[in-house]
Amino acid sequence: MGMESSSTHFTIMRSSDTDSKIEDSGNNLVLKAYPMLPMKTVNAEDEGESRVLEPYVGLEFDSADVARDFYSLYATRMGFRVRTGQLYRSRTDGSVSSRRFVCSKEGFQISSRTGCPALIRVQRRDSGKWVVDLFLKDHNHGLGSTEENHSPILQKKTLTRTNTVVELSHRPKIKSIEEIEDLRPCPSGIISAKRFKWDGDEMQPEVEPSAGLEFNSANEAYQFYHVYAENTGFRIRIGQLFRSKLDGSITSRRFVCSKEGFQHPSRVGCGAFMRIKRQDSGRWVVDRLDKNHNHELESQLEVKKTNLFSSKKFIEEEIGGLENEDIVDINNGNHVKRRRENHIGSDWYRVLFDYFQTKQAEDTGFFYAVEVDNGSCMSIFWADGRSRFSCCQFGDVIILDTSYRKGIYLVPFATFIGINHHKQPVLLGCALIADESVKSFTWLFQTWLRAMSGRCPLSIIADQDDVIQQAIMQVFPGTHHRFSLWQFKAKESEHLRLMNTSFKYEYEKCIYECQTADEFDTAWNALLSRYGLKDNGWLKAMYAKRKSWVPLYLRATFFAGIPFNESIESFFGTRFNAQTPLKEFVSQYERGLERRREEERKEDFNSFNLQAFLQTKEPLEEQCRRLYTLNIFRIFQKELLQSYSYLGFKIYEEGATIRYLVRKCGNDNEKCVVTVGPSNPKVICSCQMFEFEGVLCRHVLRVFQILDLKEVPPCYILQRWTRNAEYGIPCDSESGGNPQELKALMVWSLREAACQYIEAGATSLEKHRLAYEIMREGGRKLCWQR
């Protein structure tokens, strides 16, 4: 059983399997359908107006779409609105066998719904026709008047069956646009869709954006700014939104120039935007505005060529605009859609299901899961065996890359990324996210955890959105959350862009140069006092969350050395964008994944077959060259060479505990304290490089030279950075002593080795015989009996 995403606006749905026809003549829209059973003919002359036939059990239609259209017209006449409800599929072939069309107030998902039971259910017969088998007429709420539910311009639909004609009044899905004469403002100064002027083939806003301008809904504001942008010569994107801490409702929205930010080469950090804020009355007012662009504007023609929205058609909102549904995109063909009311189930599941089935047949470790909500397919997660195996060794640090969801038209595609032993990104799982809710991200993290044998990461880099933060705290309570740099920088740029150069210099110095919490607090408070920013709401909020973005508070947590001032490159690059057809998604995904894994294989080959040149005669350099991958050894070698330019002084000694002050020759400001404990020995440096990156720093290596240590203690050479990270025997100590995690490590290690063994043994009959004999011999040694 599945569920189709409900529609929050009335649409004329067209289907290739119906004989319905839609004709557009002037302002009248005529739909011709062919019901199969005799129907009572309503005489319009007797009634004084067009009437809609009431549904009844046994009423037959050529398709489910025609049935929905019929019920929608009936609903319009009666004074209520319709959504698409559950659908049921055949267990034999998966085709849709039954559909429900319900009152828009069915359910309780939002406050405007009352759990109304009114509906019709149609069932597909063997003949291919659809028959009403259930009709519930009664509503549990008041119905609107016919006038309230009709558009200002009534359009007629004609249901025709040979010589039987029923005329139906219908409220169109397209808002009528009326010209305002003499530039007279609307009553109360509120901008509505009717205030756009029709001028030939263009829609010219009669007023420019200005602070204080009011709208009836957020979607209306977007439509207004969209038309203004189109005629000015730029394109727009949906920017940030802010929610109420009390009820989670959206309180403000930003619409920005498409060139805002720097996340893509085509963006230049343009500051033009319009922000709207919700008032207690429910209206939306422009409270911030910037019309200045830092780039040349395009011609209207060029903007229109690339715009996926129809400038002549504004889709009518039913239940409150953008709060419940992100901007509706009228997307040509079957290209990717992105709406709050998700289409992952209907658009994506069919595309991916065959791929998942094929992969499961090829890869016994392939895993996928689908989030189902009230029978509707929501988010989808998948990971192949290689990703699950990689997670056993490299799942201590994960990056949740959701940058794809930030663009309106982009694929709602997220990736879990790890850092392998060559410091390359490695795929740990993929997902299509239904919406930006705590429920979606909680399900996603729980599913990832289940697929990865329940091993929680030490740290995660993800967006600072409240919904993601809540989901992380719920599913990964002991994991340190670090904010994504690209998103943090975008918000930082927005809130601090009006500050002068001296402030920005002191601000960055405070963040990146403070070494202790007390030092940071002192510098931060002094900065806010000096520039009169003690009441700045954004800075207050960011100070409260300082442990998730200030380097000082992150250095003690292992992040595989991912720099604070660098954004993580997208694993798939720019392969998925607004023009990616669904049918090409799988092939693009496979090519991108293979390219990354080929890069990993090359580094594996280099690490096993090439040797770095030794720069010293230190035994520990030779030790680390033998163990580390090439890329990690280069990091270690750089620290070792730098250690020779430092001096170490013993500043404290008590029993077996000794402290050294290590400073750079000729630079008293660059210094750290290294503490040496009694066991192994245990060393801790105040720079915390080992805790953050897993490689010893120059300060510790200088102390090792003072202590005349010839080798790095094994506990300071992490298995994850070695050449044998993927193929070596898992270390019990590194798994934390958890038997379940240790067993998962061993299973995936053996599985990966077996897969490579099988591939090599299946290349020829001779190799197959050899492989088989080796397996038999191995089985005898393991006391394995067939």
Q: Tokens 């309503």 identify what position?
A: 42
Residues 138, 128 contacting (CB under 8 angstroms)? no
CA atoms 653, 654, 658, 664: torsion sign: negative
User: Which three-class secondary structure state does DSSP give residue 718?
Assistant: coil
**Alpha-helical runs (H) found in 497-573:** 501-513, 517-530, 537-544, 551-554
Sheet holding 250-257, edge to edge: 190-191, 214-215, 284-290, 273-278, 250-257, 236-243
In eight-state DSSP terms, residue 335 is B
What is the C-alpha to C-alpha distance for residues 359 and 351, in angstroms, rounded to an integer? 13
Q: Strand 21-25 to strand 96-103: parallel, antiparallel, or no bridges (unpaired)?
A: unpaired
Q: Helices H, strands E: what count in the chain?
A: 21, 29
The dihedrals phi and psi of 520, each to the nearest 5 degrees, come to: -65, -45
Span 13-51, pLDDT tens digits:
333 333 333 344 343 333 334 333 333 333 333 333 334
Dist CA 529 CA 550 (whole Å): 20
Phi, psi of 678 (to 5 degrees): -75, -25
pLDDT of the residue at 85: 82
pLDDT, residue 248, reads: 63
d(CA 756, CA 771): 11
Print the SS3 string covering 445-482. Answer: HHHHHHHCCCCCCCEEEECCCHHHHHHHHHHCCCCEEE
Q: Cα 744 from chain centroid?
A: 29
Question: Number of C-alpha atoms within 13 angstroms, CB side, residue 538?
Answer: 10
- 3-class secondary structure, 318: coil
Euclidean distance between CA atoms 122 and 120, whole angstroms: 7
User: What is the spatial distance between Cα 242 and Cα 491, in angstroms, rounded to a whole number?
Assistant: 12
Question: What are the residues facing 129 on neighbouring strands?
Answer: none
- The span from the CA of 413 to the CA of 776, in Å, is 45
Q: Which among 642, 624, 631, 580 is positioned nearest to 714, based on CA atoms?
A: 624
* CB atoms closer than 10 angstroms to residue 400: 25
Cα 463 from Cα 490, distance rounded (Å)? 11
Q: Are strands 657-664 and 667-676 parallel, antiparallel or unpaired?
A: antiparallel
* CB contact set of 662 (below 8 Å; sequence gap of 6+): 646, 647, 648, 649, 671, 672, 673, 674, 685, 699, 702, 703
Q: Most distant CA pair in the chain: distance in Å?
A: 108
Residues 6+ away with beta carbon under 8 Å from 163: none
In b/e form, how buried is each residue of 1-16, taking b as 16+ CB within 10 angstroms? ebbbbbbbebebbeee
The H or E element containing residue 646 is: strand 646-654
Domains of the chain in start order, with CATH, are 59-136 (2.20.25), 213-290 (no CATH), 346-484+568-586 (no CATH), 499-557 (no CATH), 619-727 (no CATH), 739-784 (no CATH)
Angle (CA) 724-730-733 rounded to 5° is 125
| Helix locations, 171-276, DSSP H | 218-232
* Of 457, 323, 311, 489, residue with least CA distance to 390: 457
In angstroms, how far is the first alpha carbon of the chain from the final one? Answer: 42
Residues linked to residue 86 through DSSP beta bridges, in sequence order:
3
Residues 458/557, Cβ–Cβ less than 8 Å: yes
To the nearest 10 degrees (0 to 180), the angle between helices 438-451 and 466-475 is 40
Grouping H, G, I as helix, E, B as strand and the rest as coil, residue 174 is strand
pLDDT at position 174: 31
3-state secondary structure of 740: helix
Torsion sign, CA atoms 582, 601, 731, 758: positive
Dig out the tokens for 287 from the structure: 């409270």
- Over residues 325-377, the pLDDT tens digits come to 333 332 333 333 334 345 566 667 777 888 898 898 888 889 999 988 777 77
User: Which parts of the chain sit beneath pLDDT 50?
Assistant: 1-52, 146-205, 305, 307-341, 408-409, 728-737, 786
Peptide linkage before 681 cis (omega within 30 of 0): yes
The pLDDT, as a whole number, for residue 91 is: 62
Q: Which residues pair with 657 in a beta bridge?
A: 654
Phi–psi pair at 198, nearest 5 degrees: -85, 120
Backbone phi and psi for residue 257, each to the nearest 5 degrees, phi listed first: -65, 145
**DSSP per position, 7-73:** PSS------TTS--EEEEETTEEEEE---SS--PPP-HHHHSS---PPP-TT-EESSHHHHHHHHHH
Position 410 scores a pLDDT of: 54
On the CB side of 142, how many CA atoms lie within 13 Å of its CA? 3
pLDDT for the residue 4: 37
Chain-centroid distance, C-alpha 218:
22
**CB count, 10 Å around CB of 784?**
10
> Which has the closest alpha carbon to 501: 509, 513, 512?
509
CB 371, CB 378: distance < 8 Å: yes
Rounded Cα–Cα distance for residues 427 and 414 (Å): 11
Non-local (6+) Cβ contacts of 462 within 8 A are 399, 400, 402, 468, 472, 481, 482, 483, 484
Strand, helix or coil at 624? helix
Q: How far apart are CA 80 and CA 119, in angstroms?
A: 11
Query: Does residue 691 contact residue 551 with C-beta atoms inside 8 Å?
Result: no
Residue 767 has what pLDDT? 83
Contacts by 12-21, CB closer than 8 A, 24 or more apart: 12/69, 12/173, 13/65, 13/68, 13/69, 14/65, 15/63, 15/64, 15/65, 15/66, 17/62, 17/63, 17/128, 18/62, 18/63, 18/65, 18/66, 19/62, 20/62, 20/63, 20/65, 20/66, 20/69
Contact call for residues 719 and 732 (beta carbons, < 8 A):
no
pLDDT of residue 615: 93
Q: What are phi and psi of 280, to 5 degrees?
A: -60, -25
The count of residues in the chain is 786
